[in-house]
């Protein structure tokens, strides 16, 4: 992998990680923090990358396979594949230990990375990881939100599918948040990314499973963050975080005030401070 890192050059770069190329950005020096975005949209962590709270770290932000400038595979990509891609990116950059910041489905990917490459993953910050394991509210959300979204996919309307899903988990104002943080063109980019999510990643997320026995193998310190306002849409994420807090040997859960599932865009400054504080207390 070619790396032409400088402290001032924040242009997107591409890395060959075997079967795909990943688009990524990096800045700073010190402990490495990987920002691995959630599903549906590749830019969930774009504002977080620039937050001053992370200035004392080497921050890497990646577009996972299927999103934006990264390779859009023509085959099914599993969550283990996504974990492997990200770990290979880090190792290609010369990183020996990294702190994984994951959101929703990339929370599950981070757990998979910690299982598959425990020597690399120093800690996990999981922002409302997707429901594996799941509590009783998961079935309700599937019927109320995921089912209608997939019906829209079946009709070829990815704009409607993304709108149904994000209204259902992030709240009715998600479009305003996306445009305020990323500009008017962000909604078009979101729908483009959502096409990959609905035709590829959502299957991978459903197929990925975690039980108590496997979770007990994840020894990396883990912070589980739940938005204080997420309950207005669903209790699913807090139920999953509560189960993971019991299953993961070194986990604790916190509540982030004033935000819901879209927290990286809703309040990137608060999320950045949360990450910086946790990583700072778990230096490798």
- Residue 3: its pLDDT value, please? 33
* Residues 6+ away with beta carbon under 8 Å from 39: 104, 105, 106, 130, 197, 201, 202, 205
Interval 121-170: pLDDT, tens: 999 999 999 988 999 999 999 999 999 999 999 999 999 999 999 999 99
pTM of the model: 0.95
Average pLDDT over residues 11-27: 96
Name the pLDDT band for 4 (thresholds 50, 70, 90). very low
Query: And the tokens for 120?
Result: 């690399």
* pLDDT at residue 219, as a whole number: 96
The bridge status of strand 58-63 relative to strand 21-27 is antiparallel
pLDDT at 208 over 50: yes
The pLDDT mean for the chain works out to 95
The pLDDT, as a whole number, for residue 283 is: 87
Task: Write down the pLDDT at residue 183.
Answer: 96
């Amino acid at each position: 992998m070619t790396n032409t890192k400088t402290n001032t050059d924040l242009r997107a770069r591409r890395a060959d990680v075997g079967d795909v190329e990943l688009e990524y950005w990096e800045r700073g020096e010190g402990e490495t923090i990987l920002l691995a975005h959630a599903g549906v949209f590749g830019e969930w962590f774009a504002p977080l990358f620039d937050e001053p709270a992370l200035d004392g770290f080497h921050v890497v932000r990646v577009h996972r396979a299927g999103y934006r400038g990264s390779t859009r595979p023509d085959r099914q990509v599993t969550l283990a594949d996504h974990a492997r891609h990200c770990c290979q990116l880090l190792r290609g950059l010369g990183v020996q230990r990294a702190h994984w910041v994951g959101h929703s489905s990339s929370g599950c990917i981070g757990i998979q990375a910690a299982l598959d490459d425990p020597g690399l993953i120093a800690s996990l910050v999981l922002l409302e990881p997707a429901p594996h394991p799941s509590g009783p509210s998961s079935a309700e959300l599937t019927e109320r939100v995921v089912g209608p979204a997939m019906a829209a996919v079946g009709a070829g309307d990815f704009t409607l599918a993304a709108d149904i899903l994000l209204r259902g988990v992030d709240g009715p104002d998600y479009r305003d948040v996306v445009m305020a943080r990323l500009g008017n063109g962000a909604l078009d980019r979101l729908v483009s990314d959502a096409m990959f999510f609905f035709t590829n990643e959502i299957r991978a997320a459903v197929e990925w499973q975690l039980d108590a026995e496997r979770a007990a193998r994840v020894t990396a310190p883990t912070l589980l963050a739940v938005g204080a306002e997420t309950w207005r849409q669903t209790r699913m994420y807090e139920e999953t975080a509560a189960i993971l807090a019991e299953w993961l040997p070194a986990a604790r859960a916190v509540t982030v005030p004033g935000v819901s599932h879209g927290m990286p865009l809703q309040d990137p400054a608060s999320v950045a401070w949360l990450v910086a504080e946790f990583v700072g207390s778990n230096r490798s």
